[in-house]
């Protein structure tokens, strides 16, 4: 049996080297534009297509929270902060609420961090209720639609369900007061209670400037076949195993920790970004939630994302052709990952890399400072613009109400 094991590994390595050689020969091929409507959508300019009114809120809902903990500027949930900053100086902003198409409430619900930098969502529902009570009391615009022409950025693990454990997030459901609003969120999974129809799924925040400083020359060979750095087990929060990542990460480790084609580890080296640029495939498995910054990093660094998260809804899916640039592997098929990836023809790999090399693809995944045409800020605005004009049914008749202000867990009803 031992001999056959090494024969098998030798064949795998031969296949791997053939693939890498084909990839290296074509590293400097021209980039490829997405064909059809997806490419047009990706390059849309939202300016002139919508107007956004930004509520001016007491600083306790945003600026003071950030002053208390500046780490919020660099964690993966920071899109809520940078979206606020972007809109304050954006050409789509209007100071006249009567001409606004959309209303934005800048509230930083994820900026409550543990010493380890993880967000605590437990105060978020009360904070959100408080800010909605404020805008509904001081402006007439919420009440005329009960939020149907308002959008909120909710980048928690499970969006406006406000919990990091899926079981409890499902039990909570989306905060009732947000049922008519448009939610801009990182979480996306089909047929899930924490993703309501009409939401805009965005990439998590990854620091553009930091990634830019780690770029390596284009001619560098991609000599790593499969790359991953991160947890395989979360012993602290899932001591019995099997719940974290629905067992998918554990399956990666158990099946491929000794496979020479797989460069996988829990260690996070200082060369992490450089290593991704040397890899052909980068694993993007689910963790506690389906999404992670690895997806952004893979696209930016031209590493083909291997998406292991059943039913995931990916960022800006109407503009980015995920099926063409990535590889989707069902969670139950993780033990067959080596066979799946080594079976992909070199010409398919090359086309995916050409698409990933397109600057517009990378730009759409980032929240740069300052903003750039086609970036994630503009993709959010494009998503909002495509929802216009609002149907007349979103405007309530005088005295009409549909939201229940007392619904939800009792703890959420306490003052913030």
219 and 110 within one domain: no
225 and 302 within one domain: yes
- Sheet order of strands, 327-328 included: 262-265, 224-229, 279-285, 304-308, 327-328
312 and 277 within one domain: yes
> Which among 246, 297, 287 is positioned nearest to 266, based on CA atoms?
287
Quote the pLDDT of residue 37: 42
161 and 225 within one domain: no
Quote the pLDDT of residue 401: 87
- Give CA–CA dist 42/332, Å, rounded: 33
- Please report, for the domain that includes residue 248, its CATH number: 3.40.50
pLDDT tens digits for range 161-207 = 999 889 999 999 999 999 999 999 999 999 999 999 999 999 999 99
Q: Which domain range does residue 132 map to?
A: 45-205+376-389
Q: What is the overall mean pLDDT for the chain?
A: 90
Residue that has been written with the tokens 């930016």 in this structure = 300
C-beta of residue 350 within 8 angstroms of C-beta of residue 268: no
Quote the pLDDT of residue 397: 87
C-beta of residue 301 within 8 angstroms of C-beta of residue 273: yes
218 and 297 within one domain: yes
- Give CA–CA dist 413/310, Å, rounded: 34
196 and 80 within one domain: yes
381 and 336 within one domain: no
258 and 288 within one domain: yes
Is 76 contained in some domain? yes
154 and 86 within one domain: yes
pLDDT < 70 regions, the chain: 1-41
pLDDT tens digits for range 32-66 = 655 544 445 677 888 899 999 999 999 999 999 99
Domain count, the chain: 2
Is 276 contained in some domain? yes
Name every residue whose Cβ is closer than 8 Å to that of residue 208 and which is 6 or more positions away in sequence: 366, 367, 368, 369
Quote the pLDDT of residue 41: 63
267 and 155 within one domain: no
286 and 190 within one domain: no
Residue 33 three-state SS? coil
pLDDT tens digits for range 9-37 = 443 444 444 444 444 434 455 566 555 44
CA 121, chain centre distance (Å): 18
314 and 200 within one domain: no
- Give CA–CA dist 393/396, Å, rounded: 7
Is 113 contained in some domain? yes
> Quick check: pTM over 0.85?
yes
Query: How many of the other CB atoms lie within 10 Å of CB of 390?
Result: 13
Is 18 contained in some domain? no
Is 19 contained in some domain? no
Quote the pLDDT of residue 32: 66
- Give CA–CA dist 345/23, Å, rounded: 11
Is 126 contained in some domain? yes
Is 219 contained in some domain? yes
Is 399 contained in some domain? no
């Amino acid at each position: 049996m031992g001999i056959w094991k090494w024969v098998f590994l030798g064949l795998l390595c031969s296949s791997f080297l053939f693939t890498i050689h084909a990839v290296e020969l074509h590293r400097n091929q021209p980039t490829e534009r997405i064909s059809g409507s997806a490419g047009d959508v990706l390059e849309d300019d939202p300016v002139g297509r919508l107007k956004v009114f930004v509520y001016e809120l007491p600083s306790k809902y945003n600026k003071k929270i950030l002053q208390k903990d500046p780490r919020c500027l660099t964690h993966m949930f920071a899109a809520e902060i940078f979206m606020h900053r972007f809109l304050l100086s954006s050409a789509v902003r209007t100071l006249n609420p009567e001409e606004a198409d959309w209303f934005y409430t800048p509230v930083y619900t994820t900026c409550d961090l543990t010493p380890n930098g993880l967000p605590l969502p437990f105060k978020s529902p009360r904070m959100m209720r408080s800010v909605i009570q404020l805008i509904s009391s001081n402006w007439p615009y919420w009440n005329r639609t009960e939020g149907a022409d308002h959008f909120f950025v909710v980048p928690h693990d499970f969006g406006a369900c406000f919990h990091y454990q899926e079981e409890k997030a499902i039990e909570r459901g989306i905060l009732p007061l947000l049922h008519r609003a448009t939610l801009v969120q990182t979480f996306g999974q089909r047929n899930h209670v924490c993703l309501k129809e009409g939401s805009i799924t965005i990439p998590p925040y990854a620091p553009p400037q930091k990634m830019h400083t780690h770029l390596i020359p284009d001619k560098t060979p991609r000599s790593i076949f499969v790359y991953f750095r991160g947890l395989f087990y979360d012993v602290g929060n899932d001591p019995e195993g099997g719940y974290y990542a629905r067992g998918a990460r554990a399956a990666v480790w158990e099946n491929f920790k000794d496979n020479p084609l797989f460069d996988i580890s829990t260690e996070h080296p200082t060369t992490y970004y450089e290593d991704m640029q040397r890899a052909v495939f980068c694993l993007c498995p689910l963790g506690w939630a389906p999404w992670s910054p690895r997806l952004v990093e893979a696209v930016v660094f031209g590493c083909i994302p291997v998406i292991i998260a059943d039913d995931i809804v990916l960022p800006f899916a109407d503009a980015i052709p995920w099926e063409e640039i990535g590889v989707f592997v069902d969670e139950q098929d993780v033990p067959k990952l080596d066979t799946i990836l080594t079976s992909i023809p070199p010409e398919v790999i090359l086309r995916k890399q050409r698409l990933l090399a397109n600057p517009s693809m990378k730009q759409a995944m980032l929240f740069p400072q300052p903003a750039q045409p086609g970036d994630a800020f503009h993709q959010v605005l494009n998503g909002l613009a495509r929802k216009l004009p609002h149907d007349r049914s979103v405007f309530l008749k005088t005295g009409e109400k549909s939201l229940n202000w007392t619904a939800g867990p009792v703890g959420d009803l306490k003052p913030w």
